[in-house]
Chains A and B, each alone.
Chain A
Amino acid sequence: DTEVTQTPKHLVMGMTNKKSLKCEQHMGHRAMYWYKQKAKKPPELMFVYSYEKLSINESVPSRFSPECPNSSLLNLHLHALQPEDSALYLCASSQLQDYNSPLHFGNGTRLTVT
C-alpha cells in the first residue's frame, strides 16, 4: 500500500461542476506534486509545492487551482473542466524538492469529465 493517500479514487463530473481532489502524506515530506497522466503515457507535471509554497506551475490552465493547507495535505480544486481533462491525477511527495529525492506516488484519482 502507498503512503500517499488520494481521495476520491474515481470522480465523474460535468463541465459546470466544482470538485476537489485531496492528497495526504504523513512521511514528513516537504515537497508535494500534482501530475496528470493519460493512459499508457508518462506523468506530466502540473504543480510543485515546497514548504507549503507553490514553486512550480507548469502553465496549467486556471480551471485547475492547487492548494497546500499544511505540510501533510495537498488539494486540487477543479472548475469548468473540459472532456480532454479526463485523466488519472497523481499526487506525489518527496523529502525535499531536491535532485536525489525519489518521489512517492499515490494511486491517483481517475477523473472523467462529461
Chain B
Amino acid sequence: AQSVAQPEDQVNVAEGNPLTVKCTYSVSGNPYLFWYVQYPNRGLQFLLKYITGDNLVKGSYGFEAEFNKSQTSFHLKKPSALVSDSALYFCAVRDRAGGGNKLTFGTGTQLKVEL
C-alpha cells in the first residue's frame, strides 16, 4: 500500500525567509510524487512533480522540491517566501508498482507567511 505523511499541520514563516514543507512517502515500488496547493474556496493547483531523473525539481511560482530516495522524502522548498504563498499544501504519491493508479494525498500543511 502507498501512503504519504506530512508531519506538520501548520508552518509559519516570515516573508523573505526560506520555507520548507515536509513530506515523506511509503511505496512498494518507485514513486511518482506531486505537490499541489489550495487557496481558500478554490480547487487544488498542481505545483510540480517528480517522475525520474534529477532529484531537484523546479515548479511553478518559484517552488522546488528535492527527492531523497534514502530518506523517502520529497520536501517542498522556496528560497524567499511571499505573503501570497499562504495556502494549504498537499503532497501526493502514486506507486508505479501498484496502488491501482490512485493518487494518495497527505493530510495537508497550512503555510502561513507573515510580514
Contacts and interface: CB of A to CB of B under 8 A. Distances in A.
A102 interface: yes
Contacts of B88: 40
A97 B42 CA distance: 23
Contacts of A98: 101
Given A100-B49, A102-B49, A107 B41 contact: yes
B1 interface: no
Most buried by B among A42, A97, A104, A106: A42
Given A40-B110, A42-B108, A56-B100, A106 B43 contact: yes
A66 interface: no
A57 to B, nearest CB: 12
Interface residues of A, number: 23
B17 interface: no
B61 to A, nearest CB: 15
A97 B99 CA distance: 13
A10 B92 CA distance: 27
A17 B22 CA distance: 43
Contacts of A100: 32, 49, 51, 94
Interface in A65-114: 90, 92, 97-100, 102-108, 110
B102 interface: yes
> Interface residues of A: mostly helix, strand, loop or mixed?
loop
B90 interface: yes
Given A40-B110, A42-B106, A4 B43 contact: yes
Contacts of A110: 41
Contacts of B51: 100
Contacts of A2: 42-43, 45
A6 B42 CA distance: 11
B96 interface: yes
Contacts of A102: 34, 46, 49
Interface of B: 32, 34, 36, 41-46, 49, 51, 88, 90, 94, 96, 100-103, 105-108, 110
Q: Which 4 A-B pairs have the closest CB atoms?
A: A105-B43, A42-B105, A102-B46, A105-B44
